[in-house]
């Protein structure tokens, strides 16, 4: 595919992401942008995730941002995770998608928020969190073991990263 065709396709996907009338059009555009892995779209996707109301579209945007592995998306993804943590009953699919995206991005700023799920009663959430920690900070078990006598995992990683 030549540059002009690629660029026209990219621009159409951005238009669909913001102006698609149907949720499935917006979700498909987000997914395709993730497969393109064109980091020009990160800031636009960060803007789209703030205004989007449909949960499926939001999931696809988060997944796409994870595929791009760009740290600029971290804070927007963490805002969605904070929203889930504050809910009485978490949306397991949303949490798993967020954890996977953060694991791909490998931004240490995510560790204090992910640590909330290290002792989750749901096996899949707990294992996904452990895998994310392995990806972001391979020595995390050693760090927790050493520091746990003094602090909780959340406090340990919050003190290591300033947001």
Pick the CATH number of 1-68 from 1.10.3470, 1.10.287, 1.10.10, 1.25.10: 1.25.10
* Mean local confidence (pLDDT), 22-31: 97
For the stretch 105-126, pLDDT in tens is 999 999 999 999 999 999 999 9
The closest of 69, 147, 70, 80 to 113, measured between CA atoms, is: 80
Instruction: Return d(Cα 41, Cα 30) in angstroms, integer.
Output: 10
Classify residue 107 by its DSSP letter: -
How high is the pLDDT of residue 162?
55
Instruction: Return d(Cα 40, Cα 88) in angstroms, integer.
Output: 36
Instruction: Return d(Cα 71, Cα 34) in angstroms, integer.
Output: 14
Residue 137 · residue 108 · CB < 8 Å: yes
Which residue intervals of the chain bear CATH 1.25.10?
A: 1-68
27 pLDDT exceeds 70? Answer: yes
Q: How many CA atoms lie within 13 A of 112 on its CB side?
A: 16
How high is the pLDDT of residue 159?
64
Query: pTM (2 decimals)?
Result: 0.87
* Mean local confidence (pLDDT), 75-93: 94
How high is the pLDDT of residue 160?
61
How high is the pLDDT of residue 161?
62
């Amino acid at each position: 595919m030549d540059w002009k065709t690629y660029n026209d396709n990219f621009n159409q996907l951005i238009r669909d992401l913001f102006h698609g009338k149907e949720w499935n059009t917006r979700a498909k555009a987000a997914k395709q942008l993730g497969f393109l892995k064109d980091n020009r779209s990160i800031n636009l996707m960060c803007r789209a995730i703030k205004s989007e109301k449909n949960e499926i579209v939001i999931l696809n945007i988060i997944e796409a941002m994870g595929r791009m592995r760009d740290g600029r998306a971290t804070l927007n993804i963490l805002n969605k995770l904070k929203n889930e943590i504050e809910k009485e009953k978490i949306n397991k699919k949303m949490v798993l998608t967020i954890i996977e995206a953060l694991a791909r991005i490998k931004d240490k700023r995510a560790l204090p928020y992910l640590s909330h799920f290290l002792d989750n009663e749901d096996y899949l959430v707990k294992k996904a969190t452990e895998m994310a920690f392995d990806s972001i900070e391979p020595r995390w078990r050693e760090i927790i073991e050493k520091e746990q006598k003094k602090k909780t995992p959340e406090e340990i990683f919050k003190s290591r990263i300033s947001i």
